[in-house]
Structure 1
Amino acid sequence: MGEIFYVNCPGCEEQKGPITTHPGTVGIHCSCGITATVDIDAQEIDEWWTREN
């Protein structure tokens, strides 16, 4: 099994995870309205944006 890591939401700073490393794209959707993609190699937020309602 892959390594497990966590990232903080860039909107509210709430910790998100666990995220497991595996091939493919990983994204998070926070309840504060932020959607983000996660750079698995760097184990940090890659790009993020505020969702529209």
Structure 2
Amino acid sequence: MTEIFYVECPGCAESKGPITTHAGTLGIHCSCGVSARVDIEAQEISDWWER
């Protein structure tokens, strides 16, 4: 069964999602200027940086 979750942007704390669970990682880009890698297994931000 596919699970859906949300993560908070580490720059502005805006909720990002919905993100569906699949093996691996994906990237998000927030309007506040932060890009982040999301670890789907842990359902959290694994790495982030400002653009």
Normalised by the size of structure 1, how large is the TM-score?
0.88
Q: Which residue of structure 2 lines up, in the alignment, with residue 26 of structure 1?
A: 26
Q: How many residues matched?
A: 51
Q: Where has structure 1 moved over 6 Å in runs of 4 or more?
A: none
Uncovered stretches (5+) of structure 2, i.e. residues with no partner: none
The Cα RMSD (Å) is 1.0
**Among the aligned pairs, what percent are the same residue?**
75
Normalising by structure 2, we get a TM-score of 0.91
Give unpaired runs (5+ residues) of structure 1: none
Mapped pair 1:47 → 2:50: no
Larger proportion of strand: 2
| Structure 1 match to 2:6 | 6
Q: CA offset at residue 3 of structure 1?
A: 0.6
